[in-house]
Structure 1
């Protein structure tokens, strides 16, 4: 990918962003340091001061992988050079998916396994000592559909309290975790879920706007949570989704397809995000939805640049 915006003249107006997710895949290990520098310089040029690496790899499942330390060190070093910090996602355990619908014993097994894996990774990883390190990200997304009952919420809260306690052994920062409002019918309440979690431990919610998947009306679903977070004076971020999900014949999330959104919609999301009280407005994600080679990504970036010029 060419260095798209790093040297663009006249970019003085804010992009509306303070951060972006970086969703690593196995193929990212093939990038050269120069390719990483181009991508991260472009991210910094959009005003980002934080990169959230969604995960360092996937464990379990059919094709587990971990990003090589050399690649991750390149990301940390270039982020530091570009004046950014890195919030690092722990390994994602693929057993999360069946655990969502498991009984109490099944969830307990997953929680123990994932906690042990996270503790082992943090104990051996050198990243917390890097000058660009900004804390840990717990790479699971919470919604009210699968955590509708008081018992399941308490189990989740205890696990996250244990996870948060473990991260604090390797960082002074409160760990972050994403959440969203599910449009699936349920008796669960996103606000009640987070009341239970925040009564048990300190977490930094990363609230997804959900517009890329569920449309603009999804903001109504997360507004009660935002009100509760402001009432509690909890530091949180909001995520502006830069894609729009395309219909899939499976319609179950197993065949996710999307394309870059247009700038008019993204700009509306950014205007909303500024009103939420979030400490950071975070893109999901500049790469690839605005920095990729797809024509729609190029159009989104071009229109965004024109607005900043």
Structure 2
């Protein structure tokens, strides 16, 4: 999940949001100093997985091992972020069915991300409404075609679909653009009817705007049945971002909406650019993760989904294995 490193334009936090941040900072202070505290205020329920072109060369056993690791961490929900990446590559139907079979054996349920077009952020940056409309029409057609041809929705490990375009309040501030977005989402929702849940992720952009995230979704959710997955933004903006998200959480609770929180397992490295093109990150510390789980648990979210166990808790980068081992020790002590 690539989150542009925008400057956080602060909003006035609600009292509830401030209490979340104070609580989270208290947990962070407790767990990041002194001996490691073997406890979890709440465990992760699942994780995202971005499949890259190089992953297509993996033996099937590697996919099975990866899913088994998720289950070992008690992450029983896997969101495959996309099934294809533009014209560059895609996961074959046999591989998708194998993933479902491996997940079933491990006690994991899988949500499939629709085909993804990597030109999404460039389209938004252009500011051209005609290009925006054409993009949404094209990816809508691709998404509907995938949904209509899908042969996996009856698999017992299948959980639903994920729309892989992350939505923020700045990029969709104009009412005319919101109408375009709502039309695209209605089109996908109509084609996705059947077993499983249709979800999409959202985040609070730090670019100043009078538009609000809660206002955006209040309007869209009245006509489109979607499950929101709210990115906590801590990997970029720190724990204080929970206060900025407090109005959205309050709106979702008032609506009785079923929603998830995406708990970021990384810390963004400093970069001279703010467009997300140079995004790089290190694994979070266990103390910060404990703080996130403590605060996220109070939002009313049904599930806490880590972004992402792979690679930030696997052996591919410095610090990831340490985070995994610390998390497993805390998990064994109970949440």
Normalized against structure 1, the TM-score is what? Answer: 0.90
* Contact 2:199/2:226 (<8 A) preserved: yes
- Tell me how large the CA RMSD over aligned residues is: 1.8
* Contact 2:41/2:293 (<8 A) preserved: no
2:260 is equivalent to residue 233 of structure 1:
no
2:164 is equivalent to residue 144 of structure 1:
no
Counterpart residue number, 1:163 = 188
Written as runs of structure 1 = structure 2, the 5 A alignment for 1:212-251 is: 212-251=235-274
Q: Distance in 1 between matches of 2:246 and 2:53?
A: 36
What secondary structure sits across from 1:300 in the alignment? helix
1:114-147 Cα distance to aligned partner (Å, 9 max, x none): 1111111122231213221111100010001111
Q: CA deviation at 1:154?
A: 1.8
1:7-35 Cα distance to aligned partner (Å, 9 max, x none): xxxx9989601111111111111221221
Normalized against structure 2, the TM-score is what? Answer: 0.83
Counterpart residue number, 2:141 = 116
Counterpart residue number, 2:157 = 132
1:15/1:199 CA distance change after superposition, 3 Å: closer
Counterpart residue number, 1:299 = 322
1:219-256 Cα distance to aligned partner (Å, 9 max, x none): 12211101000000011010100001101233321011
Indicate the structure whose relative CO is greater, using CA pairs within 8 Å and at least 6 residues apart: 2
* Contact 1:87/1:136 (<8 A) preserved: yes
Written as runs of structure 1 = structure 2, the 5 A alignment for 1:15-54 is: 16-54=43-81
After superposing on structure 2, the runs of 4+ consecutive aligned residues of structure 1 that deviate more than 6 Å are: 11-15
Q: Which of 75, 84, 92 does residue 99 from structure 2 map onto?
A: 75
Q: Distance in 2 between matches of 1:102 and 1:57?
A: 26
* Contact 1:15/1:47 (<8 A) preserved: no
What secondary structure sits across from 2:79 in the alignment? strand
What secondary structure sits across from 1:265 in the alignment? helix
* Contact 1:111/1:159 (<8 A) preserved: yes
What secondary structure sits across from 2:208 in the alignment? coil
Higher deviation after alignment, 100-109 or 124-133 = 100-109
Q: Distance in 1 between matches of 2:137 and 2:317?
A: 41
Number of equivalenced pairs: 294
Q: Distance in 2 between matches of 1:304 and 1:95?
A: 36
Q: CA deviation at 1:295?
A: 3.1
Higher deviation after alignment, 263-272 or 295-304 = 295-304
Gap regions ≥5 residues in structure 1? 1-10
What secondary structure sits across from 2:63 in the alignment? helix
1:185-233 Cα distance to aligned partner (Å, 9 max, x none): 1222101100111122111000010001121111122111010000000
Gap regions ≥5 residues in structure 2? 1-37
Q: Distance in 1 between matches of 2:250 and 2:98?
A: 39
2:285 is equivalent to residue 278 of structure 1:
no
1:231/1:15 CA distance change after superposition, 3 Å: closer
* Contact 1:59/1:92 (<8 A) preserved: yes
* Contact 1:15/1:304 (<8 A) preserved: no
2:288 is equivalent to residue 268 of structure 1:
no
What secondary structure sits across from 1:93 in the alignment? coil
* Contact 1:14/1:47 (<8 A) preserved: no
Counterpart residue number, 1:184 = 207
Q: Which of 105, 112, 130 does residue 88 from structure 1 map onto?
A: 112
